[in-house]
Structure 1
């Protein structure tokens, strides 16, 4: 990469990454720890410095930790959020060099070969790096050496700088665990009297290879530079955007739609390669006067079929003011979701595709967040037997498992006049005089005692389906513990 230039690698270790991130969001004073549930017990996941000084450690039972430190503050750990934040730190670290990779779940590795002079040298680079991370509230340990293995060892066991060509001198006094060895190998080496990297480098290689295999010597050679070890930076995420510059300006809707179709073909081909689908698209149209107009489209489902997406753009593109003409079109998928390739039947998915397209069309007019669907819920209480979910972010249920029919229209119970456990022959409801023609029931529903609901504190309810001679089909219930009749729903 850089001919004649010695390779220099920086390793960064964030020993309290999770707790530092949590405290940046909501600071607290005193001992603090994140907890996770393991084997039906809460244990400490990551601690701040005050908690460690109180004698707490990772993996400790949360109950024991509270006994040792009654003033301990805690929150649940979110490992997924920590991983995402580490990726954010990786992007931030590219300010020092273009080659930045991840080092486990709590570290970064930087190849600063040829980059240090841009910040005034290695010492200035390391000082600036530590200063920025410390001011941001992170605990960091850094190591600089010729190899990735040596930098890793210094960051986690020495925190220092190994001069060029002097890796062994810098690592000689560090424990053998600094070579990224597993615990069993480290313990076995210590039992043989090999406690430091210097002892390991001075030992005979053949007996070590026979006893521990080639992995031990490979780690030693990688740290000392005898074997190469690459630093693989994470690839940049794919950019789902295409553009078209026109030789002559256009203004007709048909021409704009044709240009959008060609861009959709390119974009959908790229999304198919990465097995993703667009949830939100944006067309930017540049006019001759350098003004820009945008048309956004939100889809009910991830989609990469240009023939289904193009008609959804027509309404928005028809409202564009072309002015003296449009000379550039740009199409970008601003939000994508995974859409793996599946073996599907056209007949089985045709109805679902039509429903998704309908939701998308309605969403362009009134907003996807205003379109909802009812989904079944696990409760026998009528008011709790369903939930309302956004149609664009939920799947319809094939069927509702109900042993008894339920009314389509539910409302708060409305009292009516009646006595006895049988439905009243005549009653008045909503200023209407109704006569019972046929009744089916009762269906007894008991309260869910584990939930607090003021509407159900009165106790049991006996529900009846009542068809009146006037054509109303009502859902009535009787409360035996406090005799009374109520109407709660109406069948369609």
Structure 2
């Protein structure tokens, strides 16, 4: 059974109002406040502040009903992804107290403080420091301390400073609501009541899951804290013994940083898409030189010349004493074999686009990319040249596409002989049809209604055409040609 005298070294930090606290930190609001999510075809309360709770609101109620109860209610849409990023930031912050910090659900942290609490003046001083710092940051927090992660979670969610585990409600066992209700109907309302009941009847009635929760609480079933690995941060720094100001000196320092940064990128199988060079002057101010790349790169000899225009435009003041280089955007970059002819194909074009992009902006250099549309005229679009190339078009389309040109032919089947552009052609092989309808959600004055049956036709004379037939108004047209 659980021994309360064992060394207590697991801390559970629970943020019961994490989403609303984060939202109010970003944009304060007076009075009742809630965050809403879309569920069951209606907007429902996701998280609320104490003023909203005092007004009688609760989680899960319809937002329209909440507004009827509280006319002066302030509301915003919830951002679960942003809340998780914020919790990850809190996890990194909690590393000041312990090297073992893991997430405990979507709104909590678990810390193993065994062997480190004396560094903060004891366990009570450590817990007090956690509460003080988080409360000062505007976060509602509850902290629990116990010998196991399950017991610490129960203390933070349902206990107070003087609570005993045996007196906590059965919901502190982290059971589903139906199991909690069934246990309460049997008169088992606290953890002590459940622990005092024979295990065999509990297993037959509720399954092994209930016994596993009890064993986790008492430390009879292992439950560890799994710290998440931080994402690699690709940044290097060079502090100079003497200030520099010449462009050549800054470029030389940047070259040294690039070699270190690119080795780190290579170890992680990544390449840079955007870089920022920060030059700290002796007066404490910093100047930046940003570089966006047309494709992923990690070759110092290719990247360094691209920094020259940005470095030349930096005001060095009385000198620069520190350089910092960071890859602000990265992407996976697998190894590529270099041919005997030199660099892989496409690198020269990527370097040219990057050089032009530093002058006019990569967003102003456009390219034609496939677009997700079955309409031939809408199957391509203009997109900025920078960034990851789009996936290839999933449908087979002609290499040359032009406005429909009528041909002399009749009938729903592809004609054996027809004339196109003053040429007499004979069909040798036909493939199709592919029936295409206009996109009703995207009005097109050139194709307002009707259907088209497209065929790929190879002619004996050589041209490989893309033709379509319109059943609603029988006629044949050529709209494209394959290479």
Category of TM-score, reference length = shorter chain? 0.5 to 0.7
Cα distance in 1, alignment partners of residues 162 and 95 from structure 2 = 20
CA-CA distance at 1:101 after TM superposition: 1.3
Which residue matches 1:301? Answer: 295
Pairing of 1:2-401 with structure 2 (within 5 A): 6-160=7-161, 170-241=164-235, 267-268=261-262, 270-271=264-265, 274-281=268-275, 297-304=291-298, 309=303, 312=306, 332-339=325-332, 355-368=349-362, 391-392=385-386
Q: TM-score, normalised by structure 2?
A: 0.63
Cα distance in 1, alignment partners of residues 15 and 238 from structure 2 = 45
Number of equivalences: 388
Cα distance in 2, alignment partners of residues 343 and 209 from structure 1 = 58
Cα distance in 2, alignment partners of residues 51 and 116 from structure 1 = 37
Cα distance in 1, alignment partners of residues 288 and 25 from structure 2 = 37
Label 1:225 to 1:306 Cα distance change in 2 as closer, same or farther (>3 A).
same
Cα distance in 2, alignment partners of residues 352 and 36 from structure 1 = 46
Cα distance in 1, alignment partners of residues 162 and 123 from structure 2 = 9
Cα distance in 2, alignment partners of residues 21 and 317 from structure 1 = 39
Which residue matches 1:415? Answer: none
Label 1:61 to 1:255 Cα distance change in 2 as closer, same or farther (>3 A).
closer
Cα distance in 1, alignment partners of residues 162 and 347 from structure 2 = 60
Cα distance in 2, alignment partners of residues 211 and 266 from structure 1 = 62
Cα distance in 2, alignment partners of residues 134 and 22 from structure 1 = 15
Cα distance in 2, alignment partners of residues 78 and 139 from structure 1 = 18
Cα distance in 2, alignment partners of residues 67 and 361 from structure 1 = 59
RMSD of equivalent CA atoms: 5.2
Task: Indicate if the aligned counterparts of 1:302 and 1:336 stay in contact, CA closer than 8 A.
Answer: no
Q: TM-score, normalised by structure 1?
A: 0.62
Which residue matches 1:428? Answer: none
User: Per-residue displacement from partner, 1:409-442 (whole Å, max 9, x unpaired)?
Assistant: xxxxxxxxxxxxxxxxxxxxxxxxxxxxxxxxxx
Task: Indicate if the aligned counterparts of 1:142 and 1:160 stay in contact, CA closer than 8 A.
Answer: no
Task: Indicate if the aligned counterparts of 1:154 and 1:161 stay in contact, CA closer than 8 A.
Answer: no
Task: Indicate if the aligned counterparts of 2:254 and 2:304 stay in contact, CA closer than 8 A.
Answer: yes
Pairing of 1:405-484 with structure 2 (within 5 A): none
Task: Indicate if the aligned counterparts of 1:241 and 1:330 stay in contact, CA closer than 8 A.
Answer: no
